[in-house]
Structure 1
Amino acid sequence: METNNEYNEPGAAHVPPQYSGSEMNAVEKIQLASEAEAVHFFKTVKERLLDVNRWTEIAGGAMSDFFLTDGEGNLVQRKAASGDHIKIDIPGPGTQTGGGYDWVTIEEIKAQVLDDAEVLSMTVRPSANPLTSSDETAHFLTAEATSTFQVKRVGNAIYAEEHGRNEVPNTDTENTLDNVRNTFVGWGAKVGLSYPQWKALVKGLLNHDNPCQSA
């Protein structure tokens, strides 16, 4: 798998530290003809990142289905904001705790502007199902895990990245079937089966074939 060692700055501070379980880094880059063109196209890239409801389309359909909800779990048609949830429909059986879905909360959206660079990062963390009163984590990974989706422009280069940290399967819930399911899905992620999905997303975020397409 690719690492982000080459791209540690700017934006490295937006990615939580790795301390347990496995990590994943999916990185894609395009180089545009001029900085002015890159500045213009980066606006589209940022819009795409925040348009969670279109992630599957942006990735060419090669991934799970994603649905943006507000903090109470109600579906919304807008750009993502801190405190929202993402309801994820992973192929195969879902969790009973999550009502058939995996849930994450958008913990932080952070923007940074430097002299010749711009960064937009969104960090999500496995969460409880906001449609129930249960505080059980409704995701195949524990609440220690994070995924940070990051886009950045450095000069006339634009990067799109996904950084998974502290990925440990969520196998200690009160639901035995969920534990079994999370073991298998978590094992698949651990051996890299989720990498092609994130690689497709970061590549789609930078799709310049139709630069006029907004997200």
Structure 2
Amino acid sequence: MKIKRTDMEREIIGRDHIPVHQSGGETDAIERVACESYIQAIELYQIGKSRLADVNRWGEMSNIPLSSFKLFDSSGRSCDRTVAEGDYIRIDIPGPGTSIGKGYDWVHVEAVFSEVDFDEDVFTLRVRPSSHPLDPEGKTAHFLTSKATSTFQIKRVKNVVYAEEHARNESPNMETGNGLDNFRNTLVGTAAKIGLSYPQWKSLVKGLLKTEA
């Protein structure tokens, strides 16, 4: 027999796909849109899901485009398609980049999946700081350590649609093997750890569910 979830349980659907927070910084950027009908909610969920999977246009979707994003496949080739597990995302943030990342920060797409139920849908995309896809040393080319994660979700619970970003275990990456990179990562990573990256992700989640006026 199927057990009916309570309203509180509905609010936390998909939370089991977010890594447990153990140390460092933690932030949650959430946008919520209540639709007038079940059909409208399904349509908005599909729009948000398509937008989240279109990584190359994240910057355009953000109300405050503080960074740009470019999708690469598992072999390090740039591509213009929807995101897939095993891909890499190149991030260009304001200010100088790192030598180890060839001027950019990189994350690896470790999970992409959907869950569907009668009145609940969840699309999850989780990334983790990684090496440059062509870097043989394999050192993390990101201002945060590889313990950090960002989990993006589009969720529908009845007539309500959510766009969310959950950052966990954020600490500056001091193990690049390059003094200047370590110094830069200390500044940028500490800013992220105390929540200064929140405006970027809040802007993105708002853009994922933005509808025409």
TM-score band (shorter)? over 0.9
Give the RMSD, CA atoms, in angstroms: 1.5
Q: Which of 78, 82, 88 is residue 85 of structure 2 equivalent to?
A: 82
SS class of match (2:142): coil
| 1:103 to 1:7, Cα distance in 2 relative to 1, 3 A | farther
Give the aligned partner of residue 51 of structure 2: 48
Q: Which of 190, 200, 205 is residue 197 of structure 1 equivalent to?
A: 200
Q: Distance in 2 between matches of 1:76 and 1:128?
A: 18
Give the aligned partner of residue 146 of structure 1: 149
Question: What TM-score do you get using the length of structure 1 for normalisation?
Answer: 0.92
- Matched-pair identity in %: 51
Contact 1:14 1:110 in 2 (8 A): no
After TM superposition, the structure 1 stretch with the greater mean CA deviation from structure 2, 165-174 or 118-127, is 165-174
Residues 1:180 and 2:164 aligned together:
no
Shift of 1:8: 5.1
Contact 2:63 2:206 in 1 (8 A): no
Letter in 1 for 2:85: S
| 1:8 to 1:186, Cα distance in 2 relative to 1, 3 A | farther
Contact 2:100 2:176 in 1 (8 A): no
Q: Deviations 1:130-158 (Å, cap 9, x if unpaired)?
A: 12212110000000000000010111110
Q: Deviations 1:77-134 (Å, cap 9, x if unpaired)?
A: 0000000000000110111100000000000012111231100010000000012212
Q: Which of 67, 70, 89 is residue 67 of structure 1 equivalent to?
A: 70
Letter in 1 for 2:92: D
Q: Distance in 2 between matches of 1:105 and 1:8?
A: 28
Q: Distance in 2 between matches of 1:13 and 1:191?
A: 24
SS class of match (1:129): coil
User: Which stretches in structure 2 are left out of the alignment for 5+ residues?
Assistant: 1-7
Alignment of 1:91-106 (within 5 A): 91-106=94-109
User: Which stretches in structure 1 are left out of the alignment for 5+ residues?
Assistant: 211-215
Number of corresponding residues: 206
